[in-house]
């Protein structure tokens, strides 16, 4: 486009002439979009940025001050909008990464705290068992002994070991059922404790 045509087009834009604006759009939109696609690597981003370029030109039409060619001016706006988008995306990624790291630390801290509480509650319930029942349970679960080994060590029958284990597990299930329900509700309601 020659210099006189550009000046006429710019004057038309400054006066709010929609025909001049449509002509500008028709002349440069496709080429601008191709340029922005090449630097962004995204058709969607290039469409969005191209639209923003022409919106920006229309919004500032009355104060347009173009020292170079109109094409260079339009492409410079597009490039600057792309750089702004990159900066914004970088800041958002940094913020998301920071939020992710904070969330991971909170989850680990919460999980460790929750686990410690649950272990303490289980141990508390185990300590409430009758002495013989508790001994049999701890030998089986803590020390990993087989029923026959427990029977031999405590000098009782295997049937007695089985009865003590049944009794211990029944009491623990009953005692822990409320605790498990409590933790389940806290977890689902996201209530910190």
Residue ranges and CATH numbers for the domains of the chain are 3-93 (1.10.1740.10), 94-189 (1.10.10.10)
Report pLDDT for 37: 94
**What's 57's DSSP letter?**
H
Structure pTM? 0.50
Q: Measure the N-to-C terminal CA separation of the chain; round to a whole number of Å.
A: 71
pLDDT tens across 39-91, in order?
A: 999 899 999 999 999 999 999 988 888 877 889 999 999 999 999 988 888 88
CA separation (Å) from 40 to 84, 92, 129? 12, 17, 68
Report pLDDT for 63: 85
pLDDT tens across 119-150, in order?
A: 787 788 888 889 999 999 889 888 889 999 99
32 CB-contact burial (10 Å; exposed 0-12 / middle 13-18 / buried 19+) = buried
Query: What 3-state DSSP class applies to 191?
Result: coil
Q: Is the confidence at residue 105, as pLDDT, over 90?
A: no
């Amino acid at each position: 486009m020659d210099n006189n045509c550009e000046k006429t087009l710019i004057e038309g834009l400054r006066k709010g002439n929609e025909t001049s604006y449509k002509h500008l759009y028709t002349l440069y939109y496709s080429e601008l979009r191709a340029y922005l696609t090449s630097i962004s690597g995204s058709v969607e981003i290039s469409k969005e940025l191209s639209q923003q370029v022409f919106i920006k030109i229309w919004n500032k039409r009355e104060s347009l001050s173009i020292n170079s060619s109109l094409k260079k001016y339009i492409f410079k706006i597009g490039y600057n909008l792309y750089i702004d988008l990159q900066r914004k995306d970088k800041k958002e990624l940094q913020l998301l990464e920071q939020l992710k790291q904070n969330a991971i630390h909170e989850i680990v801290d919460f999980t460790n705290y929750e686990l410690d509480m649950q272990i303490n509650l289980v141990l508390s319930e185990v300590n409430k068992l009758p002495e013989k029942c508790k001994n049999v349970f701890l030998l089986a679960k803590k020390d990993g002994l087989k029923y026959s080994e427990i029977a031999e060590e405590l000098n009782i029958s295997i049937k007695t070991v089985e009865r003590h284990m049944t009794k211990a597990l029944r009491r623990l299930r009953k005692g822990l059922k409320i605790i498990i329900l409590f933790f389940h509700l806290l977890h689902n309601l996201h209530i910190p404790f």
